[in-house]
Amino acid sequence: MPEPLHVKVFRFNPENDVAPTFDHFQVPVFDNMAILDVVMHIQNYLDRSLSFRFSCRIGMCGSCAMYVNGRARLACRTQVSSLKTRAITIMPLPNFPIIRDLVVDMEPFFDKWKKIRPYYVPKKEIDRPVTVQPDSNEREFIDDMLDCISCGCCYSACSMVATHKDYLGPAALNRAYTLIADKRDAIRVDRLKAVDRSYGVWRCHTQFNCAEVCPKNIVPTRSIQNLKRRCVLKKFGVFK
């Protein structure tokens, strides 16, 4: 029998607890085991009260993000073997209010998305669906940025989010950029105004923490730098 995993899990139930604690579990290991399997084993066999979130199990919905061994990760896509240790510490994502155990409140995160109006608004003169060719320059330029699954990993890793509660954060700014780069969008100038603020693009200190943890390999810092450039062009009247 292989040595079991020694798992330390953050616990906090605001209805009963005055402060968070850690519980310790021993979990049998199997081939291709993911962190999501670890917490499911605990919930199924060791402690039914453990709370966490997941849905798709294939790295698409973004709901299973957790802070595992000091780094934000998708629980369903993180293989236990990749951690190279039997000692695993699982905590909720930093920079989010905690609802219970590993479940965080995503509302402040999505409130910031709302500020950049994260949906496409067609220009009035466009009266039929527009096709964007997948191999067009315009599409290729934002291709990887469109893969965001709103898991919140980047937001949890950002030291500017940690120190400025109003900062829009890397995910919302990345989304804003994909829309501002789209010439068919009717409100791209208004969108740019929404991010051209001290708590918008100018708060980013280009530390790349967001890019380091993104499970989709997006580099939000690049989107933010592109937004900064467009803000400057707008000041000179070159961006329309």
DSSP state of 201: G
Dihedral angle over CA of 233, 231, 149, 215, nearest 10? 90
- The Cα 147–Cα 161 span in angstroms is 22
Among 40, 60, 83, 186, binds ligand FES (CB under 6 A): 60
Q: Which is nearer to ligand FES, 73 or 115 (CB)?
A: 73
DSSP state of 137: H
| Minimal distance, residue 6 CB to ligand FES, in Å | 23
* Closest by Cα among 207, 211, 80, 206 to 154: 211
| Minimal distance, residue 102 CB to ligand FES, in Å | 12
- Considering the rule CB under 6 A, would residue 118 count as an interface residue with ligand FES? no
CA distances, 199 to each of 94, 164, 205, 224 (Å):
19, 8, 12, 12
Among 25, 62, 176, 219, binds ligand FES (CB under 6 A): 62
- Considering the rule CB under 6 A, would residue 59 count as an interface residue with ligand FES? yes
- The Cα 160–Cα 174 span in angstroms is 15
| Minimal distance, residue 34 CB to ligand FES, in Å | 9
Q: Which of residues 145-204 bind ligand FES (CB under 6 A)?
A: none
The piece of 7-15, 54-62, 124-132, 178-186 that touches ligand FES (CB under 6 A) is 54-62
| Minimal distance, residue 74 CB to ligand FES, in Å | 5
| Minimal distance, residue 185 CB to ligand FES, in Å | 28
Among 33, 40, 46, 61, binds ligand FES (CB under 6 A): 61
Q: Which is nearer to ligand FES, 60 or 121 (CB)?
A: 60
- Considering the rule CB under 6 A, would residue 64 count as an interface residue with ligand FES? yes
- Considering the rule CB under 6 A, would residue 94 count as an interface residue with ligand FES? no
R_g over Cα of the chain? 20
CB-based contact 38:54 (threshold 8 Å) = no
| Minimal distance, residue 55 CB to ligand FES, in Å | 5
CB-based contact 7:90 (threshold 8 Å) = yes
CB-based contact 101:48 (threshold 8 Å) = no
Backbone angles phi, psi at 94, to 5 degrees: -65, 165
Among 63, 150, 178, 221, binds ligand FES (CB under 6 A): 63
- The Cα 32–Cα 151 span in angstroms is 22
- Considering the rule CB under 6 A, would residue 74 count as an interface residue with ligand FES? yes
- Local structure of 89: helix, strand or coil: strand
| Minimal distance, residue 63 CB to ligand FES, in Å | 5
Q: Which residues bind ligand FES (CB under 6 A)?
A: 54-57, 59-64, 74, 76
